[in-house]
Chains A and B, each alone.
Chain A
């Protein structure tokens, strides 16, 4: 896709960020009363709310696994989340994202402690501005901690990409639309294991390695914000 906007000029990006700079992230946990765990996250122009229910008996019953729990992440974009109204309901894209997020989260949870159960993670995208799967997964990680579900680590996601031949961190809306590659990843920050890796567009081997390193670094930064959000919420209640 060609455009007449310059995405990268004088070492600065369209929104004034440096190549390795993230957008602003704000995380709040425990925002929903009826959910067992919840999280609200703002990542640049993305606004995501996540509710966690369970572990509870998996329904329909044929989906139950007698040895472990199943993770049912449901990524959904609100009709008003994008400029043109999005037709509501699951589509190819959101089903794929739901699946990869479920798998990524499943690797961080002690699933074998809850045989035949399901852990439902509902991810609602209220406003979208590129990188919603990373925002959704990051928020889901926090919501799972809020639900007290036993986990090995708090999963976290971040993207890197390529715009006009330059590898940059955390693509914005125009960069995603007119850039040449996008590489969202999710990691387990303690071990550095990659839980999710997708790529859209083309990159050379070297560019890929740079982008991957950059995204992993970004994940660690976001992970600190996640931990701060949880600590702040619960240190307050602890003091009462």
Chain B
């Protein structure tokens, strides 16, 4: 099979004697076949057959991904957030989206209680540190943290003021662990 050739699901690309099945391929009765439409490549370093997709492909979470998540509930030692978007991808996340963020992973300093840093309804940017058996997030970086928060009194947008956040509607002041670009990220871009 020549490289860079376009293949469709089910097309034979190689054999098990020759290569290992890599991304976008599967092995069946000693034959490696494509599992998606794309172009055939060989990863010479690992001797793997791969199919580089030509279509968009489902988004699967990986360790190290930077994601946007919606905070659902804040517990005494962790928060639970739903992963809603993976940066750089324009498709919804496939599979499990329930992430947890432990207190110790919130910031570099000591955090006693997660409720001083995050509140339900916040949209946070976080890093995926574990995918299996469950999704674990971390926000230990200055571009990670809250990117949009709502006032806990009137549910209007909070705006950055001095070192904290202030409600544009009622003037209520709150504190969050904010990302450097708090309020500047366009959520409609997703």
Contacts and interface: CB of A to CB of B under 8 A. Distances in A.
A80 interface: no
Contacts of B8: 145, 154, 227, 230-231
B96 interface: yes
B26 interface: yes
B6 to A, nearest CB: 6
A188 B10 CA distance: 10
Interface in A141-186: 145-154
A208 interface: no
A146 B57 CA distance: 9
B55 A146 contact: yes
Interface of A: 36-37, 54-57, 110, 114-117, 145-154, 188-190, 227, 230-231, 234-235, 237-238
A238 B54 contact: yes
A54 B53 contact: no
Given A146-B55, A153-B10, A55 B37 contact: no
Given A145-B9, A151-B36, A114 B54 contact: no
B88 interface: no
A105 B26 CA distance: 18
Nearest to A57: B97
Interface in B32-71: 33, 35-37, 39, 53-58
A154 B9 contact: yes
A147 B26 contact: no
A31 to B, nearest CB: 14
A191 to B, nearest CB: 9
B24 interface: yes
A189 B11 CA distance: 11
Contact of A145 (B33, B55, B95): B55
Interface string B1-13: 0000010111000
Given A56-B93, A116-B95, A147-B56, 9 more contacts: A110-B35, A117-B94, A145-B8, A146-B37, A148-B37, A148-B53, A150-B35, A151-B36, A189-B10
Q: Ordered nearest first, which 4 A-B pairs have the shortest CB separation?
A: A148-B57, A55-B94, A153-B10, A150-B35
Nearest to B82: A57
B92 interface: yes
Contacts of A235: 6
Contact of A148 (B39, B58, B93, B96): B58
Question: Which residue, A56, A148, A150, has most C-beta atoms of chain B within 10 A?
Answer: A148
Contacts of A116: 95-96
A64 B58 CA distance: 18
A145 B36 contact: yes
A22 B4 CA distance: 34
Nearest to A190: B10
A115 B6 CA distance: 29
Given A36-B91, A145-B55, A151 B10 contact: yes
Contacts of A189: 10
A110 B96 CA distance: 17
